[in-house]
Amino acid sequence: MKKLIPYIFVIPPFLFVAIFIAYPLGYSFFLSFSQYNYIYDQVPKLIGLSQYINLFKADNRFLTALFNTLVFGGVYFFSVMFFSLVIAFVLNELTRGKFFFQLSTYLPIIVPLSLAGVIFVWILDPTFGIFNFLLKKLGFSQLSTINWLGNYDTALYALVVIKLWKFMGFTVVIFLAGLQSIPSSLSDAAKVDGANFFQEKLYVILPNLKEYTLIAALYSIIQAIKIFELPYVATGGGPGNATLTLYLYAWRVAFGYFKMGKASAIAYVTAGLIILLTMVVTWTLGERKKEK
């Protein structure tokens, strides 16, 4: 009987994983190769790879969503990595008020992303928003009339700014932890050798942040591609399809058009994109580490 006790404790989590994780993943993967409208079709109709081929060859909305996701992801990824590193450097150099500024940087992450979208809809409103009001007071009259979330050319980048405000604090904390783990003797030695501030950061500090950079990069890639709440709440995918992303399009196809097979295919393309970019970043940082 004692030999069975460990298995008894394992059964509940095993059933949970099997029912709520493994089965949905397996079934959705099967549906991605099927034509299935769950309102009208009794059973899925297997169509194989043509589901994925049609997405790339005949679905312009999917291509638009893919393009928007890549643009959003690229701008967000490089922005969050750069600004997080700069802010971490500044915070690490502070001697007074460090805790206050660290807390101020991290606090936005506790705000739900959907709520952040609603808040910035008000902030960026062209009529009564505080942002355009401040621009007008500072003398930028032409910019103060722009509808940042309603303009085709600016809507996607406005969403990038909102997500930066929300998630940048986490990557700042990662970089800050890395900076505080580096012995001060390395910086002191660099200064003795005549290195200026920028040379010290570039040639001494950054090479010792590789592991932390990898962690921040992997987290940022997931956040860059996994974009649903913001366009859903703030723009609805508009104006036009300017902020239509893969996640939002998959949701529309599944619960708006009831095409669960096509929606599953879009979801797996999104997952594949995240995996591919993650492998590229991991390989790149790993190669640099190996060369070192």
With 0-12 / 13-18 / 19 or more C-beta atoms within 10 angstroms meaning exposed / middle / buried, residue 261 is buried
Which residue type sits at 292? K
Within 10 A of 8 (CB to CB), how many other CB atoms are there? 9
- 218: which residues sit within 8 A by CB, 6+ positions away? 278, 281, 282
Which residue type sits at 223? Q
Beta strand extents in the chain (DSSP E only):
34-35, 45-46
Q: 3-state class of 37 per DSSP?
A: strand
Which residue type sits at 288? R
pLDDT tens digits, one per residue of 211-231: 999 999 999 999 999 899 999
Report the DSSP beta bridge partners of residue 37.
259
The residue with greater pLDDT, 189 or 173, is 173
Contact 174, 212 (CB under 8 A): yes
Torsional sign, CA 215, 219, 220, 221: positive
Determine what percent of the chain is predicted with pLDDT higher than 90.
67
Structure tokens at 56: 């790339």
The pLDDT, as a whole number, for residue 130 is 94
Contact 279, 204 (CB under 8 A): no
Cα–Cα distances in Å, from 261 out to 29, 202, 265? 9, 49, 6
What is the per-residue burial (b if ≥16 Cβ within 10 Å, else e) of 80-111? Answer: bbeebbebbbebbeeeeeeeeebeebeebbee
What confidence tier does 85 reach under pLDDT thresholds 50, 70, 90? Answer: very high
Structure tokens at 220: 């940022």
pLDDT greater than 70 at residue 269: yes
Residue range 170-184: average pLDDT?
A: 91
Cα–Cα distances in Å, from 96 out to 90, 99, 136, 201? 12, 8, 34, 21
Whether a cis peptide bond, with omega within 30° of 0, leads into 239 is yes
The pLDDT, as a whole number, for residue 291 is 46
pLDDT tens digits, one per residue of 45-68: 999 999 999 999 999 999 999 999
What does pTM read for this prediction?
0.90
Specify the CATH superfamily of domain 35-284: MetI-like (1.10.3720.10)
Short-list 212, 227, 217, CA closest to 279? 217
pLDDT greater than 60 at residue 292: no
Residue range 25-46: average pLDDT?
A: 92
- 63: which residues sit within 8 A by CB, 6+ positions away? 56
What does the alpha-carbon distance between residue 73 and residue 69 come to, in Å, rounded to a whole number? 6
Residue 144 is classified by DSSP as G
The pLDDT, as a whole number, for residue 35 is 93
What does the alpha-carbon distance between residue 69 and residue 247 come to, in Å, rounded to a whole number? 9
Domain boundaries, the chain: 35-284
